[in-house]
Amino acid sequence: MKRTGPNSQGRQGRAFCDALEMYRKEHGGDSFFVQECGSGAAWCFFLHDNKKLTGTIVRNEKFECDVADPQGSEQRIHKVRVKFACPAAVVEAVERQLKLDEAVAARKEGPHFLPKYRHPIEDGVLFDLMNRREVLFFTMLEGEVLRGIIRGFSKYEIRLGMKGEVPVVILRHGVYDLRDKRGRSYRQKRQVQPTTGAKTEAAGKAGASPAAKSPGGRSDQK
């Protein structure tokens, strides 16, 4: 059996860090809000309080965007209120695959406008799981469980391929937990427990700076 020495392990670790940093440089700024703004493509937004909004993104700003429904009426939404989104054409396929973790739903968490109240997942963890093409389970703050494979990620978003290659964009601020088939959790410990003040949009706009770096990799979230 071929043994792996400390020098080999060190080289592998450096190679991983280099590949991760290159990926961040290429994709860290990716945003489906930017990509889809003005495209005319219809999306379904799954919002907090178990609401849905279907329409096209007609205006995009740093913290908010304007969505026009099929009748042309526009609604402004704060991005932190968006848990995940999918093309309107596949919303039924997404909903068929959604499960609910009732224990998480009962916690009634979020939306968390301040990063310190969120449940971060390190970039290095996402990068490794993406490359391994592992089937994963993302649990959102209101208990929805999405099963699929990571197709890509950026500073604020995770692109998931559900069964049948159904595409979903997960907003990282809306994630409660991430687990693999063995039940292992990849969630970091958050900085503080949420309070009522964590839900104010004014606080989010004033203080939605990136979260602090953690030793294993960035987990910056809007």
pLDDT at 188: 87
Torsion of CA 7, 11, 13, 19, to 10 degrees: 180
**What's phi and psi for 109, nearest 5 deg?**
-85, 150
Rounded to whole angstroms, the Cα distance separating 99 from 29 reads 30
pLDDT at 13: 84
pLDDT at 56: 98
pLDDT at 209: 35
Three-state secondary-structure class, residue 175: strand
Q: Is 110 exposed, middle or buried (0-12, 13-18, 19+ CB in 10 A)?
A: buried
Stretches in the chain below the pLDDT threshold 70: 1-9, 190-222
Query: What are the respective helix, strand and coil percentages of the chain, to the nearest 5?
Result: 30, 30, 35
Per-residue pLDDT tens digits for 147-203: 999 999 999 999 999 999 999 999 999 999 999 999 999 998 765 665 544 455 554
Task: Read off the amino acid at residue 126.
Answer: L
Reported pTM? 0.83
The string of DSSP letters for 49-108 reads TTEEEEEEEEEE-SSEEEEE-TTS-EEEEEGGGEEEEEEGGGHHHHHHH-EE-HHHHTT-
